[in-house]
Amino acid sequence: MERDIGIYYVSKHGQTEKIAHFLGECFGGLGWDVYVTDLRSDSGTPDVSSFSAVLVGAPVYMERYPRVLRRFVAAHRMQLMAAPVTGFFSTCLTATPSTREAHLESLRPAREFLEEVSWTPDWLASFPGALNFRQYGPLQRWILKRISRRAGGPTDASRDYEFTRWDEVARFAKDLHDDRVDSPYRAERIALATRALDELMPEFEQRMVQEIAVHASPDEVRSAIESTELADMPMAQIVQSIRNLGRRWQDPSARFAQAAAGFGAFPIHMKHTHEVAGALIGQFRKRDYGIRRMQNQEDFKAFSDPGYTKALTNFWFDDYRDDRTILRTETRIHSLGTRARRRFHGYWTMASPGVRLYMGSVLRGIARSAVRRRQQHHPLAA
């Protein structure tokens, strides 16, 4: 079986470039045909779809990745989603695998980036980078010295320091080559808010993401989602009333989940404990929304009647720190057929501000429900 791999990278001070070429040497030694590409090069970018495996790498500075990386992933997202094997590696000054918690924390910028661009690679790694003090400008040198000092690292700006553990980089390449199921670099071992969405609806035309911090644990957030009432989200009721030309949508005392089911939405079974999702199919520009009721997610995935639009929404509440859970919701829209896409685009231009208000009200309603449940179960704490 022919194996060729495209390694695309962005490098700021040279360390990510060194890692990319080292990976190329590792894969070359394992019998792969290797093509290493600098995304800032003017020589052109090889076609992503021409490789049996694709790796993308970049450094993270101040928890942000270079814009050229975002543009590359945005331009080639569907090709990356369709590639047989994909991986993302991040170069981070503080990356360390010393504990499971530290490893996950070093991956946090990478996870946030992947969720932002909605790409779920098969392999994921964060490698320690370098402190190239002699290449930095005065301000950057001062900032990085402070960061290094707080982390207990070196501060002598007259020399450079390399922290990359090359045996880890080699293991990443070997694990991918061997397709090791128990490898710590398998992305499926890392929770990503967009993983299930990418499986259920990889292609979409509209996307809306919002989040809120809730003073509750993830398990309490789940319970709050299940018990949220329409009365907890008054703005959502106002938006719905306007959309329905003044007609009341549901009894305010009804639970949100029950009201959604009555409207035509159905729950999606999620593998991750801290994720809830639902889906809907309709012709939403119509006054009655043109709902097509589905029985399960298999029917939803298989539905292909032109003229209709699919909507998929999830609530993700995995990130828990300092007694707060970040509750994130994402809605994706995919219209079936050119005509439906064109018609829905016009509708979405007018309706999307209202949808954003509606979903923001839902998030605040869940937060109110969580507070109410805490007061009921722990009155003294309230």
Which pLDDT score, from 0 to 100, does residue 161 have?
60
Long-range contacts of 234-242 (CB under 8 A, 24+ apart): 234/361, 235/357, 235/358, 235/360, 235/361, 235/364, 236/357, 236/358, 236/361, 236/362, 236/365, 239/354, 239/357, 239/358, 239/361, 240/358, 242/354
Output the average pLDDT for the chain: 87
| Averaged pLDDT, 252-274 | 89
| Assigned token pair, 375 | 């007061």
Which pLDDT score, from 0 to 100, does residue 277 have?
96
- Its pTM stands at 0.84
Which pLDDT score, from 0 to 100, does residue 332 have?
97
Which of 321 and 211 is assigned the larger pLDDT? 211
| Assigned token pair, 180 | 């090791």
Q: DSSP string covering 55-83, please?
A: EEEEE-BTTB--HHHHHHHHHHHHHHHHS
What's the chain's length in residues? 382
CA 221 to CA 72: how far, in whole Å? Answer: 36
CA 235 to CA 262: how far, in whole Å? Answer: 20
Residue ranges, comma separated, of all CATH 3.40.50.360 domains in the chain are 4-129+164-192
Which of 147 and 278 is assigned the larger pLDDT? 278
Which segments within 42-172 are labelled E, that is strand? Answer: 53-59, 86-92, 123-128, 130-131, 161-162
Is residue 381 very low, low, confident or very high in pLDDT (cuts 50, 70, 90)? very low
Percent of the chain scoring above 90 in pLDDT: 62
CA 82 to CA 49: how far, in whole Å? Answer: 8
DSSP code of residue 84: S
pLDDT tens-digit map of 286-340: 988 999 998 888 899 999 999 999 999 999 999 888 889 999 999 999 999 999 9
Q: For residue 71, is pLDDT > 90? A: yes
**287 CB contacts (<8 Å, ≥6 apart)?**
245
Which pLDDT score, from 0 to 100, does residue 154 have?
63
Radius of gyration of the chain, Cα coordinates, nearest whole angstrom: 24
Q: For residue 136, is pLDDT > 70? A: no
CATH fold of 199-377, please?
Answer: Alpha-D-Glucose-1,6-Bisphosphate; Chain A, domain 4 (3.30.530)
* Most confidently modeled range among 160-164, 188-192, 284-288, 325-329: 325-329
In angstroms, the first-to-last Cα distance of the chain is 64
Residue ranges, comma separated, of all CATH 3.30.530 domains in the chain are 199-377
Of 179, 58, 55, which Cα lies nearest the Cα of 127?
58
Whether the Cβ atoms of residue 56 and residue 72 lie closer than 8 Å to each other? yes
Q: For residue 166, is pLDDT > 70? A: yes
Which pLDDT score, from 0 to 100, does residue 382 have?
46
Flag the least confident range among 68-82, 104-118, 248-262, 356-370. Answer: 248-262
| Averaged pLDDT, 187-196 | 90
Whether the Cβ atoms of residue 265 and residue 280 lie closer than 8 Å to each other? yes
Which pLDDT score, from 0 to 100, does residue 42 have?
65
Give me the CATH code for the 4-129+164-192 domain, please: 3.40.50.360
pLDDT tens-digit map of 18-54: 999 999 999 999 999 999 999 988 667 788 999 999 9
DSSP code of residue 215: S
